[in-house]
Chains A and B, each alone.
Chain A
Amino acid sequence: MKDRLVSALKKSAADYTEVRFEINDSNSITFRGQEIDSVSSSKLSGGIVRACTRGGWGMAVFDSLEDLGNGIREAGEGAVLVGREKTELAETAGPATAEVPARLERDFRGVSLDDKIKILSGYNTILLKTDKSIATTQANYSDSFRTVHFASSRGNYFREERPRVILALSAVARDGALVQRAYDAVSSKTTFNVVQGLEALAEETARRAVKLLKAPPCPGGVYPVVLDQEMGGVFAHEAFGHLSESDFLYENPQVRDLMVIGREMGVKELNIVDDGSHPGLLGTQAFDDEGTPTGKTYLIREGKLVGHLHSLETAAKMGEKPTGNARAIGRGVPPIVRMTNTYIEAGKMSFKELLAGVDRGIYARGMMGGQTMMEVFTFSAAYGYRIENGQVGELVRDVVLTGNVFQTLHNIDGFGNDLKILQKGGGCGKGGQSPLPVTDGAPHLRIRDVVIGGK
Chain B
Amino acid sequence: MPDSNLDKMRAELLHGLDVAKKQGAQGAKLSFGRGEAISCSFSAGRLKDTEVRRSSAYVIEVLVERKRGTTAGNDPADLPEMINRAISLARVGSPAHFSAYPAPAETKKVKKYSGKTVKITRAGLIENCGKMVDALKRYNPDLFIEAQGSRSVSEGLLVTSGGVSHRFEDTAWSLGSLAQKTEGTDMLFVGHGHSFREVNDFYNPDLITERLLFDLKHGEKIVESPEGRLPAFLPPEVLGMFLWPLVLGVNGRNVAKGDSPLRGRLGEQIFDPGLTIRDDPHWDFSPGAAEIDGDGIPTRVMMMVEKGVLKNFLYDLDSAGMAGAEPTGNRGCMPYSPEVLPGAEKSGDLLASIDDGIFIRELIGYGQSNMINGDFSGNVALGFRIKKGKIIGRVKNTMIAGNIYDLFKKDVALSSDRDPMLRLPSAVVQGLSVSTSK
Q: Chain A: residues with CB nearer than 8 A to chain B?
A: 30, 32-33, 35-46, 56-64, 67, 74-75, 78, 81-82, 84, 113-114, 117, 135-136, 172, 174, 177-181, 220-222, 251-252, 254-255, 258, 332, 368-380, 397-398, 400, 402-404, 406, 449, 451-455
The listed residue (B75, B89, B365, B397) touching A379 by CB distance below 8 A is B365
Q: Are A179 and B261 in contact (CB under 8 A)?
A: yes
Give the complex CA separation of A251 and B402 in angstroms: 39
- Nearest residue in B to A51 (C-beta to C-beta)? B49
- B155 adjacent to chain A (CB < 8 Å): no
Chain A: minimal CB distance from B315 (Å): 15
Contact check: which of A32, A82, A406 meets B49 at CB < 8 Å? A82
Docked Cα-Cα span, A403 to B368, in Å, equals 16
Could you say which of A46, A370, A398 has the most chain B C-beta atoms within 10 Å of its C-beta? Answer: A398
**Contact assessment for B259 and A136 in the assembled complex, using a CB-CB cutoff below 8 Å:** yes
Cα distance A398–B40 in the bound complex, in angstroms: 41
The 4 closest A-B pairs by CB, nearest first: A369-B368, A378-B365, A453-B399, A251-B44
CA distance A379 to B364 in the complex (A): 9
Name B368's contact: one of A30, A45, A57, A400 (CB within 8 Å): A400
CB distance from A244 to the nearest CB of B (A): 15
Main DSSP-derived SS at the A contact region: strand
B142 within 8 A of A: yes
Residues of A within 8 A of B68 (CB): 38-39
Which A residues are in CB contact (< 8 Å) with B50?
Answer: 57-59, 78, 81-82
Q: Is B204 an interface residue (CB 8 A)?
A: no
Asked if B222 lies at the interface with its beta carbon under 8 angstroms from chain A, I say: no
Task: Assess whether A258 is in contact with B182, with CB atoms less than 8 Å apart.
Answer: yes
In the complex, chain B residues whose CB is within 8 Å of the CB of A222: 437
Closest CB in chain A relative to B89 CB, distance in Å: 5
A286 to chain B, nearest CB (A): 27
Q: Looking at chain B, what size class is its interface with the partner chain? A: 35 or more
> In the assembled complex, which residues on chain A have CB atoms less than 8 Å from the CB atom of B48?
56-57, 82
Taking CB atoms, residues of chain A closer than 8 Å to B367 are 369
Contact between B258 and A172, CB atoms less than 8 A apart: yes
Residues of A within 8 Å of B381, CB to CB, are 373, 376
Answer yes or no: B95 CB below 8 A from chain A CBs.
yes
Q: Is the CB of A114 within 8 A of B54?
A: no
Q: CB distance A451 to B187 under 8 Å? A: no
> What's the nearest-Cβ distance from chain B to residue A95, in Å?
29
Bound: A259/B437 CA distance, A: 24
Most buried by A among B43, B49, B260, B396: B49
Contacts of B323 in A (CB 8 A): none
Which residue of B has the minimal Cβ distance to A178?
A: B373
A residues less than 8 Å from B372 (CB atoms) = 172, 179, 181
Task: List B contacts of A36 (CB < 8 A).
Answer: 92-95
* Complex contact A372–B364 (CB within 8 A): yes
Q: List 27 A-B contacts (CB under 8 A).
A: A36-B93, A39-B68, A39-B70, A39-B94, A40-B71, A41-B70, A43-B75, A58-B51, A59-B52, A60-B52, A61-B55, A113-B88, A113-B92, A177-B405, A179-B261, A181-B370, A181-B372, A220-B433, A376-B379, A380-B368, A400-B401, A402-B399, A404-B185, A449-B437, A451-B399, A452-B399, A453-B433
